[in-house]
């Protein structure tokens, strides 16, 4: 980045010193009469503004001369003569001062990522520090507090943007990157005390802003210098004032310094449709350019979905990896790392899905004759998004069980890309365990009419699930329990509207506890079976499982939405400890896709949902960390603003954790045109540096 910054500025430290020396010589050659006229003019400008100000590269010397002129009694503005030796000493002092200034500016450009003009002087640095403190600095040097701190100067002071050393103008409209952002991060006093004992709770975030509070914003005026080649794809709306470019910048907020904190790798998830249904790489030139841009800001690698419905689309054990081979070769040449996802689910129909990738054709054919291979709700509606866990050990897939199909697919991938595993290019393999690749039941399918914050429905009514339920009931000695709840409501019900989830409802009774224990145990058994085979297929490589954050109704005693999703986590039970223990058994990483959900405004729009994404997140993290399971994170929603990034950083690197724990890695969702917009990409680059523990000197100039 130092090389890029030198190209952007177009000068070096030595060049600055030469320019400064030349400037001093030129100014020393000015005749005294012209200098007196220029000082008088500046005095008048300062008096008109109400504050004496000075600009230009010789401000200190001018100020010294002005003091001599106005402080001489009876001087009448007549400048007293100085000895030749004093003039020479003044020249030497000025030359020395400007040489020091040149080195400071060169260091700031090279190491501090400051956007200072080529012939900047110490006034530019002082103005930048003033703006850092929240003040407004006008082009003529007049400085005053922003509206959030004080009033503006008297009318008549110029606020026009010129080509002087001041680069900022005040703005009163919030930048686009912050519009509609909810502060979100609220500490709840409604935690269940039984869950909070001995649990690490983060300190409140310093980045919260009241939606009604006035925000201080500013604009960035550039010099129109040429951008480096690696950033040619970064585009965005820019305004022009007096031939200067202006880009919206977020407000300056109190920020935690992450310099020296642990290095957390940052990956970017590639688009869902980067490989088409013929297993061909879509737009290789465009992807290569985008990867080069990402490489220029030192991201660690990318995450790629390897879709079962593409690779094994036509016939059992007929695998086609050609498109992925070309993509991975491209990633390898750029010296990036890979996280790959064994995606055994359908793509399409969920939030954020912009392509449609169904399950393999031969699986769909089996499903038409035997629809019980799919998850089924109480009304008999099938969900072809993924295979039911009821057939994990049933030979209904052309002589193979579902678990055997998964293993054969993973083994084929391991053999095909053995060279990338040996070279350490593929660092982690995430194994899909359910809908959206997440470990959960498909209890909230949009295609069946579910809408937030509905509690969802139990998905245990295919013949294979019911057979397992009957067996469990017989073992318990109560065969009449071999049925699902008949009073658990529908997808969009609320807990208090049902007999099963209401206060004192059936979920707390003998049958309710039996059913929920069985229902959640099927989920854990599925994790155990699939990860044991994944560990065998990818021996020596890190494996991971993705866990979603079902945070609505978390503040209730029943936690109804979590129960239907398979997490037996009512107020008197920790439903995530068993999952964490299973991951620990297989040496797997927990990828929790909820690190920034507390920024979502859903719980603000639906206060009746009693959501608590922060409380859920820290319960899951404590469950994992208590058994020493590494935690990775994947953003569930796109993020482009600094407030959002700061909250992610606070979660990934918690300040008040007594053991100094932090996340294993972070994956950004996802590479798209909006990320490549100029302002968004600048914020993302800053976020990556802070995740890496680098110092970020962010004076907004």
Q: Which two tokens stand for residue 538?
A: 């990818």
- Cα–Cα distances (Å) from 322 to 72, 277, 319, 426, in that order, read 86, 12, 9, 17
Closest CA to 505 of 560, 567, 459: 560
Order of strands, edge to edge, in the sheet holding 217-222?
170-171, 217-222, 244-249, 239-241
- Give one DSSP letter per residue of 581-648, joined into a string: HHHHHTTPEEEETTTTGGG-SHHHH-GGG---HHHHHHHHHHHHHHTT--EEEE-SS---SHHHHHHH
Distance of CA 91 to the CA centre of its chain: 52
Tell me if 387 sits within 8 A of 344, measured CB to CB: yes
**Three-state DSSP class for 244?**
strand
| SS3 state of residue 8 | helix
Partner residues linked to 677 by β-bridges? 235
β 542-547/426-431 pair status: parallel
The span from the CA of 609 to the CA of 97, in Å, is 63
Name the helix (H) or strand (E) containing 221. strand 217-222
By DSSP bridging, strand 382-387 and strand 143-145 are: unpaired
Selected catalytic residue, list 94, 596, 634, 683 = 634
**Is 634 part of the annotated catalytic residue set?**
yes
Q: Are 534 and 430 in contact (CB under 8 A)?
A: no
Long-range contacts made by residues 672-677, C-beta under 8 angstroms, separation at least 24?
A: 672/271, 672/638, 674/638, 674/640, 675/268, 675/638, 675/640, 676/233, 676/234, 676/235, 676/290, 676/293, 677/234, 677/235, 677/236, 677/237, 677/640
Report the largest interatomic distance among the alpha carbons of the chain, rounded to a whole angstrom. 112
Packed helices 577-585 and 613-626: angle between N→C axes, nearest 10 degrees: 40
Q: 279 near 312, Cβ under 8 Å?
A: no
Strand-pair category, 382-387 with 374-376: antiparallel
Distance between CA atoms of residues 313 and 310, nearest Å? 5
Identified catalytic residue from 438, 457, 562, 677: 438
Beta bridge partners, 305, equal: 341
Secondary structure (3-state) at 249 = strand
User: Is 27 part of the annotated catalytic residue set?
Assistant: no
Q: How many whole angstroms separate alpha carbon 653 and alpha carbon 646?
A: 10
> What is the CB neighbour count within 10 angstroms for residue 202?
17
What is the H or E stretch that residue 520 is in?
helix 510-537
Q: How many Å apart are CA 271 and CA 302, to the nearest integer?
A: 10
Q: How far is CA 657 from the centre of its chain?
A: 21
Dist. CA 289–CA 528, nearest whole Å: 41
**Which tokens belong to 338?**
């890979």
Question: Is the C-alpha dihedral spanning 438, 440, 441, 446 positive or negative?
Answer: negative
Name the E strands within 261-325: 266-269, 301-307
The torsion angles phi and psi of 333, rounded to 5 degrees, stand at -65, -30
Contact between residue 514 and residue 506 where contact means Cβ atoms under 8 Å apart: no
Please list the active-site residues.
438, 634
């Amino acid at each position: 980045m130092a090389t890029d910054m030198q190209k952007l500025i177009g000068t070096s430290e030595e060049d600055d010193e030469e320019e400064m020396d030349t400037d001093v010589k030129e100014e020393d050659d000015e005749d005294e009469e012209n200098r007196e006229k220029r000082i008088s003019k500046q005095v008048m400008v300062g008096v008109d503004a109400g504050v004496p100000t000075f600009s230009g590269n010789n401000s200190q010397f001018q100020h010294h001369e002005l003091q001599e002129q106005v402080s001489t009694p009876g001087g009448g503005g007549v400048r007293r003569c100085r000895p030749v030796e004093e003039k020479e000493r003044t020249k030497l002092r000025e030359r020395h001062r400007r040489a020091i200034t040149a080195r400071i500016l060169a260091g700031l450009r090279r190491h501090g990522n400051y956007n200072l003009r080529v012939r900047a002087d110490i006034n530019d640095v002082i103005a930048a520090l003033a703006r850092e403190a929240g003040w407004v600095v006008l082009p003529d040097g007049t400085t005053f507090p922003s509206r959030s701190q004080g009033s503006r100067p008297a009318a008549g002071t110029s606020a026009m943007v010129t080509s002087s050393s001041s680069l900022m103008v005040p703005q009163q409209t919030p930048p686009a990157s912050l519009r509609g952002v909810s502060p979100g991060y609220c500490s709840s006093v409604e935690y269940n005390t039984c869950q909070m004992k001995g649990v690490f709770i983060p300190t409140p975030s310093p980045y919260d802003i009241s939606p009604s509070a006035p925000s201080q914003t500013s604009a960035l005026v550039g010099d129109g210098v040429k951008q480096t080649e690696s950033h040619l794809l970064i585009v965005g709306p820019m305004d022009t004032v007096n031939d200067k470019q202006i880009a919206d910048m977020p407000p300056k907020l109190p920020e935690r310094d992450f310099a020296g904190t642990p290095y957390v790798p940052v990956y970017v998830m590639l688009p869902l449709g980067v490989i088409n249904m013929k297993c061909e790489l879509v737009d290789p030139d465009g992807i290569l350019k985008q990867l080069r841009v990402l490489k220029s800001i030192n991201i660690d690698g990318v995450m790629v979905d390897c879709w079962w419905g593409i690779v094994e689309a036509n016939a059992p054990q007929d695998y086609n990896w050609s498109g992925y081979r070309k993509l991975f070769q491209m990633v390898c040449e750029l010296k990036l790392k890979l996280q790959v996802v064994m995606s055994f689910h359908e793509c399409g129909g969920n939030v954020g899905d912009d392509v449609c990738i169904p399950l393999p054709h031969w699986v769909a054919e089996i499903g038409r004759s035997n629809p019980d291979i799919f998850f089924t709700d109480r009304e008999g509606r099938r969900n072809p998004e993924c295979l039911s866990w009821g057939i994990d050990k049933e030979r209904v897939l052309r002589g193979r069980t579902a678990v055997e199909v998964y293993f054969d697919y993973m083994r084929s991938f391991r053999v095909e890309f053995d060279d990338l595993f040996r070279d350490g290019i593929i660092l982690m393999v995430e194994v899909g365990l359910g809908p959206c690749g997440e470990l959960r039941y498909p209890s909230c399918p949009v295609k069946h009419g579910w809408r937030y914050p509905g509690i969802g429905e139990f998905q245990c009514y295919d013949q294979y699930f019911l057979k397992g339920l009957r067996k469990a009931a017989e073992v318990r000695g109560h065969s009449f329990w071999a049925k699902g709840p008949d009073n658990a409501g529908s997808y969009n019900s609320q807990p208090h509207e049902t007999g099963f989830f209401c206060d004192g409802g059936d979920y707390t009774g003998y049958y309710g506890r039996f059913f929920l224990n069985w229902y959640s145990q099927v989920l854990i058994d599925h994790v155990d079976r699939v990860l044991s085979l994944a560990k065998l297929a990818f021996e020596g490589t890190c494996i991971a499982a993705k866990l979603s954050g079902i945070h609505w109704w978390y503040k209730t005693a029943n936690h109804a939405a979590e129960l239907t999703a398979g997490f037996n986590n009512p107020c008197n039970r920790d439903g995530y400890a068993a999952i964490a223990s299973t991951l620990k058994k297989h040496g797997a990483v927990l990828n929790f896709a909820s690190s920034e959900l507390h920024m979502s405004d859903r719980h603000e729009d639906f206060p009746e949902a009693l959501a608590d994404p922060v409380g859920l997140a820290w319960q899951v993290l404590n469950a994992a960390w208590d058994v020493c399971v590494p935690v990775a994170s994947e953003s569930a929603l796109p993020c482009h603003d600094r407030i959002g990034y700061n909250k992610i950083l606070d979660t990934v690197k918690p300040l008040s954790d007594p053991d100094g724990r932090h996340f294993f890695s972070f994956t950004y969702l996802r590479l798209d045109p909006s990320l490549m917009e100029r302002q968004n990409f600048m914020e993302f680059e800053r976020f990556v540096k802070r995740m890496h523990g680098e110092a970020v000197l962010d004076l907004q100039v």
